[in-house]
Amino acid sequence: MDVTVVGSCNMDLSTYAPRFPKPGETMIGHKYVVGFGGKGANQCVSAVRLGCKTAMVGKVGNDDNGNKTINNFKSNGVITDYMAVTDQSSTGIAAITIADTGENSIVIVPGANLLLTDVDVTALEDMIKGSKVVVCQLEVGLSATLETLKLARKHNVRCILNTAPAQSGLSNDFFVLSDILCANENEAEMMTGLPVSDVAQAEAAIDVLLGKGCQYAIITLGEKGTVFASQDNRKPTYIPATKVKAVDTTGAGDAFVGSLAFYLATRPDLTFENAIQRSSIIASISVQSPGTQYSYPWRKDLQPELFE
């Protein structure tokens, strides 16, 4: 396997409105779209569309949304042999509001995602061992994510931990076991206790994250770009973002993580910096059209230079 994602699947219920409603307010929105989401699923679909062998490890409910989720993976070319269906809970749901500025706010009801645990992941040790890159987040049972990190480390498999959604008080193990830790501004603030809204602040936060033990730390700052550093080279590198008009930033971080997994798995000849550059270009394409997975590009639609 090139890329294995251990993570969440949600049905995204997206409402587009002029702005976010105030507490107690009823507003009229522009449109409503149901689409496939979940951070893990998005990262998986983003990677597979770039053209690599990709598998999803996740849990959905025994319901219509669960069936549709698995069919959606199949139609994208994702290997679904490691997906589980449970009778104990329903498929995850994300209620998303997108304002005219392109910003979003999300409430998740995780459902079956939380029933993915270390027990499920332990059973897939060989599969993780045989993957070039493994990707995980914090949107499933945390024991599943921790076990993924442990197995990846045990077998020397490159592993990206996307620390989303933001959690405070994440145990030390998550940092020490992370090869590549990727956080957005909110998540970086919550994990470091520092303000993170510009490049200089992100550089300071990167140092704190590396101090917690991950090998590489990446902070994505949306339209302000990306900063990363590693244990071997703690001097942060800043990569500006391409200027684009954002209509919907939902899942842009997932497009970035999925693309990075693709490049690390298939292009070991690229520098880490170049892999990040290319991934952020792909993420910037996704913000220019509505939806999460709907807006992720396929390889055939991208400029050939991204694959040279």
Residue closest to 5 by CA, chosen among 183, 91, 128: 128
Cβ pair 79, 62 in contact under 8 A: no
Residues that contact Na ion, how many (by CB under 5 A): 3
* Binding range to Na ion, per CB under 5 A, among 67-75, 80-88, 114-122, 285-293: 285-293
250, 279, 280, 295: which one binds ligand RIB (CB under 6 A): 250
262, 286, 293, 297: which one binds Na ion (CB under 5 A): 286
2, 3, 5, 12: which one binds ligand RIB (CB under 6 A): 12
Rounded to the nearest 10 degrees, how much is the dihedral formed by the CA atoms of 279, 155, 142, 249?
Answer: 0
Binding mask 263-302 for ligand RIB (x = CB under 6 A): -----------------------------x----------
108 binds, options Na ion, ligand RIB, none, Cβ within 5 to 8 A by partner type: ligand RIB
Residue closest to 67 by CA, chosen among 54, 80, 57: 80
Burial zone of 168 (CB within 10 Å; 0-12 exposed, 13-18 middle, 19+ buried)? exposed
**Shortest distance, CB of residue 196 to ligand RIB, whole angstroms?**
18
Q: Is 87 annotated as a binding residue?
A: no
Query: Applying CB under 6 A, does 150 fall inside the site for ligand RIB?
Result: no
* Binding range to ligand RIB, per CB under 6 A, among 59-67, 203-211, 246-254, 265-273: 246-254
**Shortest distance, CB of residue 14 to Na ion, whole angstroms?**
10
Query: Applying CB under 6 A, does 38 fall inside the site for ligand RIB?
Result: yes
d(CA 264, CA 262): 6
Query: Applying CB under 6 A, does 162 fall inside the site for ligand RIB?
Result: no
Site for ligand RIB in 126-145 (CB under 6 A): 139
Query: Applying CB under 6 A, does 108 fall inside the site for ligand RIB?
Result: yes
Residue closest to 139 by CA, chosen among 67, 43, 1: 43
Tokens of 216: 């590489």
Task: Give catalytic residues, as residue numbers.
Answer: 254
Query: Applying CB under 6 A, does 66 fall inside the site for ligand RIB?
Result: no
Query: Applying CB under 5 A, does 248 fall inside the site for Na ion?
Result: yes
d(CA 238, CA 235): 10
Tokens of 93: 């749901």
CB hemisphere CA count around 233 (13 angstroms): 8
Query: Applying CB under 6 A, does 39 fall inside the site for ligand RIB?
Result: yes
How many other C-beta atoms can be found within 10 angstroms of the C-beta atom of residue 243?
7
Query: Applying CB under 6 A, does 110 fall inside the site for ligand RIB?
Result: no
Q: How far is CA 30 from CA 7, 97, 108, 293, 305, in A?
A: 31, 11, 22, 20, 37
Give the position of tokens 């770009």: 225
**Where on the chain is the footprint of Na ion (CB under 5 A)?**
248, 286, 295
| Annotated binding-site ranges for K(+) | 248, 250, 286, 289, 291, 295
| Residues at the interface with ligand RIB (CB under 6 A) | 8, 10, 12, 37-39, 42, 94, 106, 108, 139, 250-251, 253-254, 292
